[in-house]
Structure 1
């Protein structure tokens, strides 16, 4: 009886449990199904992405790329993280001593190759306890410039600025002009031990003549005071002549009064560079042949046969004016941006430069900024006009080199020294891959393309970092050639956190 009376209650209890269980299962099923739809039901399939070319351009094509990049990210200087120039000698530095041993130098190359070479020879003269004679400049390079040292540099300032480090004289004493000299090609990228060994030459000679000055000192593993001496020579002592400094500053002021801020573009799309590198992409057959003949007839260019395609794919070619335009546009710079062209004559002239002007009409050159009368003293002196380009590039809001040559490295290093001013170093190898995909139709210009370019270059804008050492896997002296140049990045020796050691 009791059991029969309890059965209806049990049935009602069981029904409630079934109801709760059913409700719970339904809730779980609905939740799982919602997650499934969220993850898979609304996500586009991979095939759809590949087929939908418009996704590469993004739907908002009317919105310009530069609106998506902050003004600070376009123009602001890189964060220096409390770093400052520090080039004062340490307490261990040896002052200049009077010496009757002399070093004469013939500096080779263009302006910036000579500048860094001269700075090296200042340090070498200090190491070897020698008097340095004002160097002779290269008059046989591509530019055929007859300028002397005092035409380009402030000679007196050079001598007096370094008087505590090295004794420097304008000319070899007359009584020593006719005596035999030791003529040396000092080994490239040599350390202090090498030059201490070379000092044995003083036993037999009073004068050593150095035939080449470029890359005579190692980039790394030198005493701190030698490294700082190189910086004092380059950034303090090798000031340009008053006439060059004066006009350079005027042109910078005119640029700033015209547009407020500007990009200095070292557009190394010049005949000598294209011929030397064997880069003929986008050129006519006649132009390619002209460059080949020039390379064949230039004796000191050792490599004669070059595969242009391999050069370009490897990232060894300067960007073309068209490629530079796409690059700057993709970084987010607006069409109204003022761009100063720091270079010699562009190969192909205005026709080729128009491929850049179509995107950035405000292209400015020395000839547009200065009057014919102002430029007249510098006519036919490539090194002097290159010095004007150097000044304008150093003072620019942004510096962009289209190829990593001597000027590009020197300007980047100087801008790092002055507070890590924004310097955008294009990843030419990576960019060529993107440009080729544009050409084949695999990619299209737009926000997605710009994103790829911006991501590729977010760590290539002159932010503080220590100098790169040699590439891995290379042994012997060959590894020294792969090191980053000391003058391209003088950190940490000449850039430090101390505010007093300047």
Structure 2
């Protein structure tokens, strides 16, 4: 499943950093799904980075013909390309031809940890990711409406991000955690990934061992137990983020029984609101030319029930016998309507992920059940955790240690006895410890090499007098220097403040 994921988001900020290193001019980026303006506010971006990189929307006329474009060199950086790669490979090509194409694939582009003398480029990463990259107005507007509706009862809300995409589960070998139908589907996906050499290893993997090693997502029922142990009441407002939930709403049932106020972007918005968000980029309106027709072709493209509704009989499918069953479940029962299915197009998934991103940033509490994607790289949940840390370290952002929690969940007592009270205290201690500054700093030292933006301190923080600032950053420790390291003084005017 495509989503607003680590590779796509990272490629945007990496191209700006690379241009700054090379001293070159940058053309507004595009992806294989949609243009840059499909998600982001182009003019705001150009203005926000003007002191660092010159950005243009189109190449000069001399480079815009097909013949001239075919002559231009194209470089494809690897995931951990060093600065030296750009100086040795890209800069000579740029100097010789006047322009050079950069293709960022699979999250590749630039090493996460840069030499200390290049710390300003780490700050540029933060300025681009957290300030310059702003969703277009229509996305921000609908995202703000979602937040207002979640806060309508005057209580803070909690975002849970499950990470239960089928290809993610297949990559990490978590098929056996589901029922037979979903297990078969996940195993088929893993077989395809093995055949295409996307992954190495065996087809059959002990999912329970993977779970105890922290390599599988926490299930919705387990997330409910953790929230209950931490002290969230059963009337807490929950929001589900994510592009896909393998197993449908049946997997979510245990969590919904514990927390009935469980919503997502589908239950909080109307069909018309979501269609309007999609139609803005297409510059088209619903087709009402047919008498009595409610849905246009564009509408059917947005809502996949039209394509996936069940037929009178099931056709043979290379995707396995479960395909027809899945179609019936998703197509006929409103019970399954909140769970996207395979037919949902990549561009619409990007819009839905953008809405989830906005809601997650503004949440009082954020709980990611998993933080890896289908390649084992940090996913959107990691970006959100880093952005929330940059926005305010006082925000309650859980970074669960899944291996420790899995061991405790296996000891869960099913009756409210003295053992249950002891289990709850032990679970609460683990969750509280994960929120402490020491735990955040430990993760920064161990995981920053995977994704710098998930742990953007101390490089992206600065001190105003005795205060450490990243917007409204609060010093959580008695000795901030002990935990946050050496933090520079804030300049009088930072490049991100335009």
TM over 0.5: yes
Asked if the contact 2:171–2:199 (Cα under 8 Å) also holds between the matched residues in 1, the reply is: no
Asked if the contact 2:386–2:454 (Cα under 8 Å) also holds between the matched residues in 1, the reply is: yes
**Alpha-carbon displacement from aligned partner over 1:377-405 (angstroms, at most 9, x marks no partner):** 34341011100000000000000100013
Q: CA 1:272–1:413 in structure 2 vs 1: closer, same or farther (change >3 Å)? A: same
Q: Within the alignment, does 1:390 sit opposite 2:357 as a pair?
A: yes
Tell me the equivalent position of 2:174: 279
Tell me the equivalent position of 2:139: 244
Corresponding residue to 2:63 among 171, 176, 187: 176
Corresponding residue to 2:229 among 327, 330, 334: 330
User: C-alpha separation between the residues in 2 aligned to 1:123 and 1:137?
Assistant: 18
State the structure with more CA Rg: 1
Asked if the contact 1:424–1:462 (Cα under 8 Å) also holds between the matched residues in 2, the reply is: no
What 5-or-longer segments of structure 2 have no aligned partner?
279-301, 303-344, 373-378, 470-489
| Shift >6 Å, 4+ stretches | none
Most deviating of 287-296 and 207-216 = 207-216
User: C-alpha separation between the residues in 2 aligned to 1:440 and 1:358?
Assistant: 16
Q: Within the alignment, does 1:135 sit opposite 2:29 as a pair?
A: yes
User: C-alpha separation between the residues in 2 aligned to 1:301 and 1:424?
Assistant: 31
Tell me the equivalent position of 1:201: 93
User: C-alpha separation between the residues in 1 aligned to 2:418 and 2:226?
Assistant: 13
Q: CA 1:482–1:410 in structure 2 vs 1: closer, same or farther (change >3 Å)? A: closer
**Alpha-carbon displacement from aligned partner over 1:11-64 (angstroms, at most 9, x marks no partner):** xxxxxxxxxxxxxxxxxxxxxxxxxxxxxxxxxxxxxxxxxxxxxxxxxxxxxx
Tell me the equivalent position of 1:114: 8
Most deviating of 194-203 and 118-127 = 194-203
Tell me the equivalent position of 1:425: 399
Q: Within the alignment, does 1:345 sit opposite 2:345 as a pair?
A: no
**Alpha-carbon displacement from aligned partner over 1:322-350 (angstroms, at most 9, x marks no partner):** 11111111111111111100112321112
**1:151 Cα shift?**
1.3
How do 1:419-498 and structure 2 match up within 5 A? 419-420=392-393, 421-438=395-412, 446-461=420-435, 463=437, 465-466=440-441, 468=443, 483-498=449-464
Q: May I ask how many residue pairs the two structures share in their alignment? A: 378
What is the RMSD of the two structures over their aligned residues, measured on CA atoms?
A: 2.5
**1:138 Cα shift?**
3.7
User: C-alpha separation between the residues in 2 aligned to 1:440 and 1:304?
Assistant: 37
Q: CA 1:209–1:239 in structure 2 vs 1: closer, same or farther (change >3 Å)? A: same
Asked if the contact 1:268–1:318 (Cα under 8 Å) also holds between the matched residues in 2, the reply is: yes
Q: Which has the higher contact order (CA 8 A, sep 6+)?
A: 1
Q: CA 1:488–1:357 in structure 2 vs 1: closer, same or farther (change >3 Å)? A: same
Q: Within the alignment, does 1:188 sit opposite 2:154 as a pair?
A: no
For the residue of structure 2 that corresponds to 1:438, the secondary structure is coil
Most deviating of 411-420 and 173-182 = 173-182
Tell me the equivalent position of 1:152: 39
**Alpha-carbon displacement from aligned partner over 1:254-303 (angstroms, at most 9, x marks no partner):** 11113420001112123232223221243122321211112222436323
Q: CA 1:345–1:264 in structure 2 vs 1: closer, same or farther (change >3 Å)? A: same
User: C-alpha separation between the residues in 1 aligned to 2:442 and 2:3?
Assistant: 24
User: C-alpha separation between the residues in 2 aligned to 1:354 and 1:115?
Assistant: 32
User: C-alpha separation between the residues in 2 aligned to 1:353 and 1:440?
Assistant: 19
TM-score under structure 1 length normalisation: 0.70
For the residue of structure 1 that corresponds to 2:174, the secondary structure is coil
User: C-alpha separation between the residues in 2 aligned to 1:482 and 1:415?
Assistant: 16
Most deviating of 458-467 and 484-493 = 458-467
Corresponding residue to 1:410 among 373, 376, 383: 383
User: C-alpha separation between the residues in 2 aligned to 1:220 and 1:192?
Assistant: 11
Asked if the contact 1:470–1:484 (Cα under 8 Å) also holds between the matched residues in 2, the reply is: no
Most deviating of 310-319 and 200-209 = 200-209
User: C-alpha separation between the residues in 2 aligned to 1:259 and 1:462?
Assistant: 27
**Alpha-carbon displacement from aligned partner over 1:63-98 (angstroms, at most 9, x marks no partner):** xxxxxxxxxxxxxxxxxxxxxxxxxxxxxxxxxxxx
